[in-house]
Amino acid sequence: MTTTIIWTIAIITILGVVLAVVLYLVAKKFKVEEDPRIDEVEKVMPGANCGGCGFAGCRAFAQSCVEAMNLDSNYCPVGGNDVMKKVAAVLGLEVKEKAPMVAVVRCNGTCANRPKTNEYDGYQSCKVKAALYSGDTGCFYGCLGCGDCVAACQFGAISMDPETGLPVVDEEKCTACGACVKACPRRVIELRNKGPKGRRVFVSCVNMEKGAVARKSCKVACIGCGKCEKACPFGAIKVEHNLAYIDFEKCRLCRKCVVECPTGAIHDVNFPTPPVKPAPKPAAPAQTVTPAPKPAETAAPAAEKPVAPVKETEHKVEPEKKSEE
């Protein structure tokens, strides 16, 4: 009995050693050499593994950068231009600087602007709420207010305002990773250019219904009137599907659209002063046209009065008397 146990243990041990040696030899023969630059690039990455770059994590992003011919299609939103310069230095490539982005909530449907039509008493999730029904207000496009974006943000850059019921983005903490954009089922949150000094102009509405219907469900909805599009001198605004959209690449922050918007759907952020509507130009005084003087009329020649016929008087001439001699 004891001998059997000893032989069993010995055989299993020998078999394990043999298999280990075989696995080692196979691994050495079929080993795939990895580019050492991947580790170097990964070291300069922020290590957030947020997926904002479009890859599963920082190492996958580093591998993509090493394998790419250039860095035009790769960008780390968390590290920004500083990290990309370090990556370019490791790989010996050039990189173009990109404008910083920030998450923007394109909905101003506060409790005052968008009154509730019913009460939702289910699981507090925007995704679940959007799947069950159209929402607890008359707007079928706006924010649902359950805070899925808050839970998705790894950097604590989003919080819910209890007074308005809308999410608020902290610009200093936002890394533009895009996690909140993916988490929002209504596509209310958008990544936009942060702008010089944090100044930007955008349409805070995503309602694509006709003007009367949209205005009925929310006081500050975009009604698609097109006044902003006509007022923009740079062609940065387009109205499609009853909704205006501002292209931040073309926008020059003149804020003429903010002044023209009749519902206040266009927001301007971080400007020192509110936009001032230009005073209407005074009407030009009516020019009095003085009639040209009429040419003097030539007096008609007076009609000649008929001359009365002169009566001929006979003068009798007496013969001269001969003087008497």
Angle at the Cα of 204 from the Cα atoms of 216 and 244, rounded to 5 degrees: 80
The answer to whether the annotation marks 222 as part of a ligand binding site is no
For 245, list phi and psi in degrees, rounded to 5. Answer: -140, 135
The answer to whether the annotation marks 254 as part of a ligand binding site is no
Question: Which run of H or of E encompasses 3?
Answer: helix 2-29
The answer to whether the annotation marks 225 as part of a ligand binding site is no
The answer to whether the annotation marks 184 as part of a ligand binding site is yes
The answer to whether the annotation marks 111 as part of a ligand binding site is no
The answer to whether the annotation marks 261 as part of a ligand binding site is no
Report the distance separating Cα 129 and Cα 145, nearest Å: 10
Q: Which two tokens stand for residue 100?
A: 């910083």
Sign of CA dihedral 24, 25, 28, 31: negative
The answer to whether the annotation marks 76 as part of a ligand binding site is yes
Distance of alpha carbon 146 from its chain centroid, rounded?
Answer: 24
The answer to whether the annotation marks 177 as part of a ligand binding site is yes
Alpha-carbon distances of 321 from 32, 160, 308, 317, 318, rounded to whole Å: 180, 156, 39, 12, 9
CB 232 within 8 A of CB 223: no
The answer to whether the annotation marks 149 as part of a ligand binding site is yes
Report the distance separating Cα 192 and Cα 318, nearest Å: 138
The answer to whether the annotation marks 232 as part of a ligand binding site is no
Within 10 Å of residue 68's Cβ, how many Cβ atoms? 13
The answer to whether the annotation marks 205 as part of a ligand binding site is no
Count, residues in the chain? 325
Q: Which two tokens stand for residue 179?
A: 């996690």
Contacts 24+ apart (CB under 8 A), 242-245: 242/207, 242/208, 242/209, 242/210, 242/211, 242/214, 243/203, 243/205, 243/206, 243/207, 243/208, 244/203, 245/203
The answer to whether the annotation marks 218 as part of a ligand binding site is no
The answer to whether the annotation marks 126 as part of a ligand binding site is no
Binding site, residues?
50, 53, 58, 76, 139, 143, 146, 149, 153, 174, 177, 180, 184
Binding site for [4Fe-4S] cluster, residues?
50, 53, 58, 76, 139, 143, 146, 149, 153, 174, 177, 180, 184
